Structure 1
Amino acid sequence: MAAVKSWSLALVLLCISLSHLVNAADDSSGGFGASFIFGDSLVDAGNNNYLPTFSRANIPPNGIDFKASGGMPTGRYTNGGTIGDIVGEDLGVPNYAVSYLAPNSTGKAILYGVNYVSGGGGIMNATGRIFVNRLGLDIQIDFFNNTRKQFDKLLGSSKAKDYISRRSIFSVTIGANDFLNNYLLPVLSIGARISESPDGFIDDMINHLRNQLTRLYQLDARKFVIGNVGPIGCIPYQKTINQLDENECVDMANKLATQYNGRLKDLLTELNGKLPGATFVHANVYDLVMELITNYQKYGFTAASKACCGNGGQYAGIIPCGPTSTMCNGRDKHVFWDPYHPSEAANLIIARQLLYGGTKYISPVNLKQLRNL
Structure 2
Amino acid sequence: MANVVTFWFVFAHLLLQILEVNAKVPAIIVFGDSSVDSGNNNGISTVLKSNFAPYGGDFIGKQPTGRFSNGRIPPDFISRAFKIKPIIPAYLDPSYNISDFATGVCFASAGTGYDNATSDVLSVIPLWQEMEYYKEYQVNLRGYLGKEKATEILGEALYLISIGTNDFMENYYIFPSRSKEYSVEEYRDFLLRIARVFITELYQLGGRKIAISGLPPMGCLPLERTMNIFSERECVQKYNNVALDFNAKLQEMIKKLNKELAGIRLVPANPYDILLDTIQNPQKYGFEDAAKACCGTGMFEISYLCNKKNPFTCPDASKYVFWDAFHPTEKTNWIIADHLVNTSLAEFL
Please show how residues 52-71 of structure 1 align to structure 2 within 5 Å.
52-67=45-60, 70-71=61-62
| Equivalent residues of 1:240, 1:318 under 8 A apart | no
Please show how residues 138-149 of structure 1 align to structure 2 within 5 Å.
138-149=128-139
| Equivalent residues of 1:91, 1:368 under 8 A apart | no
What SS is found at the alignment partner of 1:153?
Answer: helix
Distance 1:136 1:305, change over 3 A: same
Q: 2:57 and 2:208 mapped to 1: Cα distance?
A: 36
| Equivalent residues of 1:222, 1:279 under 8 A apart | yes
1:318 to partner: Cα distance = 4.5
Residue of structure 2 in register with 1:152 after alignment: 142
Q: 1:306 and 1:193 mapped to 2: Cα distance?
A: 29
Distance 1:222 1:94, change over 3 A: same
What SS is found at the alignment partner of 2:293?
Answer: coil
Out of 326, 338, 345, which is 2:324 matched to?
338
Residue of structure 1 in register with 2:309 after alignment: 324
Extract unaligned runs of 5+ from structure 1. 1-29
1:113 to partner: Cα distance = 1.1
Distance 1:329 1:138, change over 3 A: same
Q: 1:162 and 1:255 mapped to 2: Cα distance?
A: 41
Residue of structure 2 in register with 1:171 after alignment: 160
1:155 to partner: Cα distance = 2.2
Q: 1:307 and 1:236 mapped to 2: Cα distance?
A: 7
CA deviation map 1:340-359 (0-9, x unaligned): 000011111111111123xx
Q: 1:36 and 1:196 mapped to 2: Cα distance?
A: 32
Please show how residues 81-160 of structure 1 align to structure 2 within 5 Å.
81-94=72-85, 96-131=87-122, 133-160=123-150
Matching residue's letter, 1:204: F
CA deviation map 1:165-205 (0-9, x unaligned): 12x100001000010111011xxx22321221111111110
- Is 1:254 aligned to 2:240, yes or no? yes
Distance 1:296 1:289, change over 3 A: same
Q: How many residues align?
A: 324
Please show how residues 1-373 of structure 1 align to structure 2 within 5 Å.
31-67=24-60, 70-94=61-85, 96-131=87-122, 133-166=123-156, 168-185=157-174, 189-243=175-229, 248-311=234-297, 315-318=298-301, 320-325=305-310, 326-357=312-343, 362=344, 367-371=345-349
CA deviation map 1:49-68 (0-9, x unaligned): 0111011001100000002x
CA deviation map 1:133-174 (0-9, x unaligned): 2112211111101111112212222222111112x1000010
TM-score normalised to structure 1 length: 0.83
1:336 to partner: Cα distance = 0.4
CA deviation map 1:224-254 (0-9, x unaligned): 1111000111100001122165672112221
What SS is found at the alignment partner of 2:31?
Answer: strand
CA deviation map 1:23-67 (0-9, x unaligned): xxxxxxx95311101111011111000111011001100000002
Matching residue's letter, 1:317: F
What SS is found at the alignment partner of 2:62?
Answer: coil
Matching residue's letter, 2:67: R
Larger RCO: Structure 1 or Structure 2 (Cα < 8 Å, ≥ 6 residues apart)?
A: 2
1:329 to partner: Cα distance = 2.8
What SS is found at the alignment partner of 1:310?
Answer: coil
Q: 2:31 and 2:285 mapped to 1: Cα distance?
A: 28
- CA RMSD of the aligned region, Å? 1.6
| Equivalent residues of 1:233, 1:252 under 8 A apart | yes
Distance 1:245 1:349, change over 3 A: farther
Residue of structure 1 in register with 2:6 after alignment: none
Return 133-142 or 95-104, whichever deviates more.
95-104
Return 348-357 or 217-226, whichever deviates more.
348-357
Matching residue's letter, 1:58: N
Q: 1:331 and 1:244 mapped to 2: Cα distance?
A: 28
What SS is found at the alignment partner of 2:102?
Answer: helix
CA deviation map 1:279-314 (0-9, x unaligned): 011112111110101111111111000010034xxx
What SS is found at the alignment partner of 1:98?
Answer: coil
Q: 1:258 and 1:324 mapped to 2: Cα distance?
A: 38
| Equivalent residues of 1:95, 1:112 under 8 A apart | no
Matching residue's letter, 2:27: A
What SS is found at the alignment partner of 2:160?
Answer: strand
1:95 to partner: Cα distance = 5.0
